[in-house]
Structure 1
Amino acid sequence: MAAMLDPHASLPELSSVWLRVFLEVARHGSFTVAARALGWTQSAVSRQIAALEAELGGGPLFDRLPRGVRLTEAGRSLVPHAEAVVAALLEARRELEALREAAAGRLRFGAFATADAALVPHALALFRARRPRVRVTREEGFTPALLDRLAGGLLDLAVVSTTGRAPLDSYELHHLLDEPLYVAVAADHALAGQDGPVPLGRFADADWICGSARPEGTLLEVALRQGFRPRVAHVVGEWTAKQGYVAAGLGVTLVPALAAGSVRPDVRLLRVLDTGGPARAVYAASVRGRHPTPAAAAFLAALREAAARIPR
């Protein structure tokens, strides 16, 4: 029967440095030669061996001879154990370095749709120029789904927004930008030539085009905060289709600043007057307490740089 390990038994607190020095001295049969191989002084090697002998409490590990040293019986007994410990530590280091290299060579991130219009492509171009060998996989989705993927370890980083009432408190949030909103109207709309920001209330009686019949949890929720419930006349999910409806004069829609650069020429954008702060904030989210991979940290830096270039 195998001996049971006593969890209360005291174990020697051996330093791996002591064991490495011990093996070098045993290999060369000399403190002087071992010190040269290690790049140390002879006195430093002697102190390490003395500390190891004191910790083990089993007497000397080497007989000190007029020329060199020779393993004692205790020293010969220690050799295979020291070799096993040092080899195991070296193997552990190799495996950890391999894991770090694999993580450094992979980036998995997600982003909500309008972030893919300008912010993400610009950041990805910067990242590709700096880390051309990293394998990148990208997902697109709504903020709650991206956060679930992030929490499950399927993403390293997620570009998310405060739209949708997703619980953000349990994540590490890296602020990228506060995003203003625009109202998209047809080119022949009565307000199409308006200069300066427009109160959203000017569109309280308009037909709205939205991705949901209910404004709650969408960009259009800002209308509720400004005192009116918008009339959603057309539920259209796809971004380019929304623009088609607007251009045809079938209603108006909200456009976040991240997507403003991709608006078609027969649609006009009117800046929404900010009342009580920006409509939404955009973050790069990571899991709190989880150390970012080198690739994720580099992509976060690229996102911040790209966000600084987005017109406010």
Structure 2
Amino acid sequence: MGEFTIVGLRVVREAARCGSFSTAAENLGYTQSAVSRQIALMEQAAGRVLFERHARGVRATEAGRIVLRHAETVLGGLGSARQELDELSARPPVTLRVGAFSTAMAALVPRAVAATAPRLARIPLREGTSPRLISAVARGRLDVAVVTETGNLPVDAEIEPLLDEPLLIAVSPDHALAGRASVTPAQLRGQRWIAGSTEVSSTLLGAWRDATWEPEIAFVARDWFAKLGLVAAGMGSTVVPAIAVPVLPPGIALIRVDHPAAVRTTSVVYRGADSATPRQLFIEALRDAAADLATEVRQRLR
């Protein structure tokens, strides 16, 4: 027994509509012998005669009417699929404007972009500090922002935590603290630090230090590659958020800080409570990427 085919079902439908194989052939642009061949193949697939042949034309048998009913369903569904695909091609490209702080732009956001790029035509990216990104969301210049600070949120803003990441100390492999699983802030008091600013309160050092000591910032470097290069050369230590662990170069040892404040929350901010499809698609991808990153960090720090 053969198989039903789309071409064969289309021929069956047209022959039943016209009551004539020759008229069906003319309407479909086929030869009459091609139509007869398709009808024969469909009768072979059905295991039944589908048409009664008469001198003035053809008429569907009971088996033919069964096949015709299902042919209408199949061909109608294919027609709907074609219409939806044509409408999809006619839609304007979907653009989602995404902002993130530097380490999220290096590790978290690229994974979400890769997961959603086939569904979104354009994903312009903007890197910046959390306050600037939140301001851009408030002014409608960004659709989504990945941030670590959540002050001055717009009234209609929604915020969703993605992950709580530990702050880690990065040192060279031959550093005196290398090999430790964790250290207390007191054990770090004699360290020379590499930070993005001389203002300690504006750096990750400010998360867990207290008023009894002031960290010695030996080098100021805003670029992460510069910081890590200095660390690898043994010129000091720096604080690294766990979100950056998967993209760190080799030759860097990581140590946990044993302090409750040595944790940073990464969140996604957007305006409005509606579930806009492109935005929601990207946020779901961010959730998945954050979960994967958290697993990778736990494995690295074992």
Shorter-chain TM-score tier: 0.5 to 0.7
Paired residue for 1:284? 268
Equivalenced residues, count: 206
Residue of structure 1 aligned with 2:283, choices 279, 300, 310: 300
Partner of 1:201: 186
Which of 257, 260, 267 is the equivalent residue of 2:252? 267
Structure 1 residues 140 and 239, CA, compared in 2 at 3 Å: closer, same or farther?
Answer: same
Encode CA deviations 1:160-188: one digit per residue, 9 max, x unaligned: 013xx743474311110001011011111
CA distance in 2, matches of 1:303, 1:227: 39
Unaligned runs of 5+ in 1: 1-96
Contact 2:207 2:261 in 1 (8 A): no
Alpha-carbon distance, 1:228 to partner: 3.2
| Partner residue, 1:87 | none
Q: State the identity as a percent.
A: 40
**CA deviation map 1:228-260 (0-9, x unaligned):** 321111110100000111112211000001111
Contact 1:201 1:228 in 2 (8 A): no
Aligned residues of 1:200 and 1:226 also touching (Cα < 8 A): no
Distance 1:207 1:186, change over 3 A: same
Residue of structure 1 in register with 2:238 after alignment? 253
Aligned Cα root-mean-square deviation (Å): 2.3
Structure 2: how far apart are the matches of 1:263 and 1:111? 18
**Contact residue 156 and residue 292 of structure 1 kept, 8 A:** no
**DSSP 3-state at the match of 2:199:** coil
**Compared with structure 1, are the counterparts of its residues 106 and 261 closer, same or farther at alpha carbon in structure 2 (3 Å cutoff)?**
same
Shift in alpha-carbon separation, 1:225–1:305, aligned structure 2, 3 A: farther
Segments of 4+ moved more than 6 angstroms:
none
Paired with 1:205 and 1:135, the residues of 2 have a C-alpha distance of 48
TM alignment of 1:38-187, pairs within 5 A: 102=92, 105-129=94-118, 131=119, 133-162=120-149, 166-168=151-153, 170=155, 171-187=157-173
> Which amino acid in the other structure matches residue 178 of structure 1?
D
Instruction: Give the AA of the match of 2:169.
Output: V
Moved more, 213-222 or 148-157: 213-222
8 Å CA contact 2:184–2:257 kept in 1: the answer is yes
TM-score normalised over the length of structure 2: 0.63
Q: 1:239 to 1:152 in 2, by over 3 A?
A: same
Partner of 1:215: 200
SS of the aligned residue for 2:124 comes to: strand
Q: Could you tell me whether the CA contact under 8 Å between 2:194 and 2:219 is conserved in 1?
A: yes
Structure 2 CA distance, aligned partners of 1:169 and 1:199? 37
CA distance in 1, matches of 2:267, 2:210: 22
